[in-house]
Amino acid sequence: MTSSSTELTLTPTKLEYFDDMWALQSRAILLSLHQVRFFFFFSKTLIFWLLKKPNYSRKLDPKAEDGRRALILDSTIFHPQGGGQPADAGFVAGSTSGAKFVVDDVRSKDGLVLHYGHFENCQDGSGPSLKEGEEVSLHVDAQRRDFNSRQTSFSWALVGYLHAKSGLILSRARKRLPFLRRAIC
């Protein structure tokens, strides 16, 4: 975690996409920047494969850093993963530093939205970086948001239709209809 001369308190992130779901650009203040430890994909199949594969080339040290960072902003237009919809992607640009942070995953925890990604053109840790308290501009990938929104709407409409026609319950649909697992979960 970076340190800051100005003490910023972490308040719940304002979710601007509730005010305007079509907004693809906005401004925010960077509250916190964190180094992310080794990232595990939380898939039972993948973890089982990693544990069973004897000659896996990467050392599975949970304390190892993988270069990813997490930003916490005072407000966001990035939709985190949830409710069956995948997370938005895009980038965050610093207004004074000129740094560009590529966002590839967004998650929400305890009222805070974490924007996961990496700095563009910054493999070894050198180069421009964002500073806590800096104003940043947010840019959401429009095509990905549109696709995710349509896919999620279709999935929920299909579940509603199947429920109305056959009394299918969502928890049973996940077990019986494998294509819904990917779309809904």
Structural domains for the chain: 14-140 (2.40.30.130), 148-184 (no CATH)
What gap in Å lies between CA 165 and CA 1, rounded to an integer? 52
Closest CA to 79 of 55, 53, 103, 52: 103
Residue range 38-77, pLDDT digits in tens: 544 444 444 433 333 333 333 333 333 456 789 999 999 9
pLDDT, tens digit, 9 for 90 and up, residues 22-42: 899 999 999 988 887 654 444
Where do the H-state alpha helices sit in 27-132? 44-52
pLDDT exceeds cutoff 90 at 2:
no
Residue 81 is classified by DSSP as S
Q: What residue has token string 């942070």?
A: 101
**What average pLDDT does the structure give for the chain?**
74
Structure confidence at residue 163 (pLDDT): 74
Q: How far apart are CA 76 and CA 27, in angstroms?
A: 8
Query: What DSSP assignment string belongs to 28-58?
Result: EEEEEEEEEE-PPP--HHHHHHHHH-TT-SS
Which token pair is 169? 């319950």
